[in-house]
Homo-oligomer: A and B are copies of this chain.
Amino acid sequence: MQIVTIKDIARVCGVSVSTVSRAMNGHSDISRKTREHILQVIAESGYVPNNNARNLKRLEARAVALLVKGMDNTFFQKIIDVMEKEIRERRYSCILQRVEESEDEVELALELVREKKLRGIIFLGGKFDHPKESLERLTVPYVLSTSECRNGFSGGGRVSVDNEKESFRMVEYLCSLGHRRIAILTAAPDDESIGRLRFDGYRRALEAYQLSQDPQLEVFMESGRDKYDFASGYRMTKKLLQRNTEFTAIYATSDTLALGACRALHEAGIRVPRDCSVAGFDGLEAGKYYIPSLTTLAQPVGEIGRATVSQLFRRIEKRKNSEQIIFEGELIVRESTSAYQSIKKGV
């Protein structure tokens, strides 16, 4: 009795496999009595239908996948929640898969579409610079959420904030406070994703305020070592401090980086925001509870999540065309930033 199959159940019940199948799947062309008997036997036997066989046979399932690159990113936590809920509300099942940094999410998507007979895909995170040929093979609707894509973008939809613009806004805000030496903590120089866009926004804001770009103020992640987390923000700020260059504000391209930065400043005896302002990006919950609470550019995760799912379903069920939806971020000013005080110049 190692492996129980539908045949075993059929034999025990004295019916055919098709009748068992009907009982399980809630078909109507079966008598109440036999159905109940069968379900009873199933419950007692510990039989679990084999999904492989099911999916192999089924023509299409009510299911979509949510593929997340960089699942450890705290920022995704809430957005995943929202999306799962939205998907469930539409009575679809949601297959959530984390994809490794080195993995190719489109290849994975291709497999899943075949395997699970998926109706749509949501990609969360990643750079998404896939060749057109790969994307063209993806025959179901897909939406790219929160992340950017370089090459024009063919068939898929996209939902996100305008990272370059929002980044500009944040740096502009810091400039407007009177800061002129604004350091930035950002992704490795070879980053082709949001990291690059946020960096571009920073540079453009400096230009707009006629501040010259100073390499001494730019701290990049070391690829392979740093990522968007506390420890990296801490290390990068230490590095900045060692350069012995003057700065009165730090713009960190994520809230986690920003909080790590605050700690490093604290240890160096630099008070936030009195001696140095610190600003982040994302609008993480943690920043709200930190001391000092963190000024940030919050992404509307709820709206992004809902819009992503609703676009996907418009395309699945109503065959609408794909769209590029851009949401506004919100500049949330909290305790970690303040106006530049020339008194501080005594450094």
Which residues of A line the B interface, CB within 8 A?
Answer: 2-3, 46, 48, 50-53, 55-56, 72, 74, 77, 81, 96-98, 107, 110-111, 114-115, 133, 137, 139, 229-231, 233-234, 259-260, 262-263, 266, 285-286, 288-291, 293
Contacts and interface: CB of A to CB of B under 8 A. Distances in A.
A231 B115 CA distance: 40
Contact of A230 (B52, B107, B231, B288): B288
Contacts of A46: 110, 133, 137
B51 A111 contact: yes
A81 to B, nearest CB: 7
B48 A114 contact: yes
Given A285-B231, A289-B259, A53 B50 contact: no
A272 to B, nearest CB: 9
Contacts of A259: 286, 289-290
Contact of A289 (B2, B48, B260): B260
Q: How many copies does the complex hold?
A: 2
B56 A230 contact: no
Contact of A96 (B74, B98, B231, B291): B98
Given A72-B77, A230-B285, A290-B290, 10 more contacts: A48-B107, A48-B114, A50-B56, A51-B52, A51-B111, A74-B74, A263-B288, A263-B289, A286-B286, A290-B291
Given A53-B56, A56-B53, A74-B74, A48 B291 contact: no
Given A56-B56, A291-B291, A229 B51 contact: no
B52 A115 contact: yes
Nearest to A72: B77
A111 B53 CA distance: 12
A262 B288 CA distance: 12
Nearest to A261: B289
A51 B110 CA distance: 11
A252 B303 CA distance: 33
A111 B4 CA distance: 12
B260 A110 contact: no
Nearest to A2: B139
Contact of A48 (B81, B111, B263): B111
A230 B286 contact: yes
Contacts of A97: 96
Nearest to A136: B46
8 contacts: A46-B110, A48-B114, A50-B56, A51-B115, A230-B285, A259-B289, A290-B291, A291-B291
A6 to B, nearest CB: 12
A134 to B, nearest CB: 8
Contacts of A115: 50-52
Contacts of A139: 2
A263 B290 contact: yes
A234 B77 CA distance: 19
A230 B289 contact: yes
A110 B49 CA distance: 10
B50 A229 contact: no
User: In the complex, which of the residues A51, A81, A262, A263 has the most CB atoms of chain B within 10 Å of its own CB atom?
Assistant: A51
